[in-house]
Amino acid sequence: LNPSLLSVEQALAQLLRNVEPVSIEVVPLSKALKRVLAQDIHAPMDLPPFSNSAMDGFAIRAADVADASDGNPVQLSVVGDVSAGEGDVKSIHADQAMRIMTGAVIPAGADAVVPVESTDNPQALSEMSLPEFVVIRKEVMPGDFIRVAGQDVREGNKILSCGHRLRPQDIGMLATLGISTPSVYRKPQIALISTGDELVDLAQELRPGTIRDSNRYALAAAIESSGAVPVAIGIVPDDPKQLEKCLDYCVELEVDLIVSSAGVSMGAFDFVRNVVESKGHLEFWRVNIRPGKPFLKGSYKGIPVIGLPGNPVSALVTFEIFVKPFLYHLSGVKTTKRFILMAMLKHPIETDGRESYLRAKLTQGIEGYEVGLVGSQDSGVLSSLIEANAIIRIPAGMESLAKGAHVEVLALHNERFL
Ligand code: AMP
Ligand code: MG
């Protein structure tokens, strides 16, 4: 192991040290999905706010039917109707019942609900007219089918924490609590620079020797799907002066992070490191990772700079491993530990001793998850990343793994197998 190379863990720790989250803004709840809360949420009220029925049925007094059985059916007189949304509800007394709908206020005096299907007349609710009485043949416990006020959430309880990324269920909770304009961190602005004399933009003609600047689009998409805003700066040729000018422009834009791709290897024209080192501050360069060894971190006039390798796969894999957690921290997310699962290798694997992130396909086998490599692991081959739905992680120092070994897998799509 080259002692000058940082391990992935060291690089990540150094990268995430002292990252300050961006400033805060207020958004309407309808725009808050996937945004990161910048405030703790304490419930301003009980949920449910009033005790209500969990079923369509009859609100009763449990004591009235304590002895009910098939041999001793109990008949209660139905004294009224209470539907969801009604606020002014009458009370019931001994041997009385009230027809009640799901979500309706429990009448005073009642302490249980009997679902309509547990009565002698399961049709009693579909009929418009109120039945005169209801017959019950089973004992009922106090509290049955009642959602008690505050059973879900108690006023004052902490419901969500600052740093939490809002999911649909969180949005629902905020809505039901009446929190219509939560404070969230604003989306970090990420300047994106592609370096290389060989690059042309999509609108330009592809002359011999040139390739399209695909990293700009792929990385912009990766930034966007991480909850940040890509600010595409464009292509900078392999010229230190022009890169410096471009970095100054990013400083003017007051972005939160500058991400460049390519120009960080050992090539004669790989000048990104020199510019960061001489005009800014270089924190580290090169990590013991495959692919993506030339990864660079530094800053320029106070703005953090990340230099990604140029190969499209290296750029995307190092984005996944390093940039995403960095963006999460910028976005105010507190924990960025990744969801990792274990899967059984379908064939032997050889690698070069670096901590390796290999393109793979994860499938559901009979005895659990199975995983195998897809296509070429060459860092210039993007098609195998297209085929992949997961990345196998092999620890540093491990050069071969046998078929049947259990390996760590990072799913690339959390929701389903593609
Ligand atoms: P470099 O790190 O500059 O040596 O680039 C490594 C490889 O990535 C070279 O084959 C480059 O042509 C390729 N490459 C660099 N930048 C991009 C880009 N923006 N889009 C696609 N390929 C790129
Ligand atoms: Mg280059």
Helix axes 240-253, 272-279, angle to 10 degrees: 60
Is residue 95's pLDDT more than 80? yes
Is residue 417's pLDDT more than 70? no
pLDDT of 418: 45
pLDDT of 267: 79
Using one digit for the tens of pLDDT, what is the confidence trace for 295-346? 999 999 999 999 999 999 999 999 999 999 999 999 999 877 888 999 999 9
**What single letter denotes the amino acid at residue 70?**
D
- Segment 216-241 shows an average pLDDT of 97
- Cβ–Cβ < 8 Å for 117, 91: no
- Cβ–Cβ < 8 Å for 321, 315: no
d(CA 255, CA 247) in angstroms, rounded, equals: 10
Q: Determine whether the shortest distance from the Cβ of 311 to ligand 1 is under 6 A.
A: yes
pTM reported for the whole predicted model: 0.93
Q: Which residues surround ligand 2, an ion (CB under 5 A)?
A: 196, 262-263
The closest-lying atom of ligand 1 relative to the alpha carbon of residue 198 is: 12
416 vs 337, 339, 343, 364, CA distance in Å?
20, 14, 16, 11
- Segment 11-21 shows an average pLDDT of 96
pLDDT of 335: 78
Cα(262) to centroid of ligand 2, in Å?
Answer: 5
**What single letter denotes the amino acid at residue 13?**
A
- Segment 22-49 shows an average pLDDT of 98
**Residues 6+ positions from 128 with CB-CB distance below 8 Å:** none
278 vs 21, 202, 238, 274, 399, CA distance in Å?
27, 32, 16, 6, 37
Q: Which ligand is nearest to the CA of 213?
A: 1
Which of 206, 217, 311 most suits a substitution to test ligand 1, by most atoms within 8 Å of the C-beta? 311
Using one digit for the tens of pLDDT, what is the confidence trace for 185-200? 999 999 999 999 999 9
Cα(198) to centroid of ligand 1, in Å?
Answer: 8
d(CA 232, CA 59) in angstroms, rounded, equals: 63
The closest-lying atom of ligand 1 relative to the alpha carbon of residue 311 is: 8
- Segment 376-400 shows an average pLDDT of 96
Would you place residue 3 in the very low, low, confident or very high pLDDT band (cuts 50, 70, 90)? low
Which of 215, 260, 275, 286 most suits a substitution to test ligand 1, by most atoms within 8 Å of the C-beta? 215
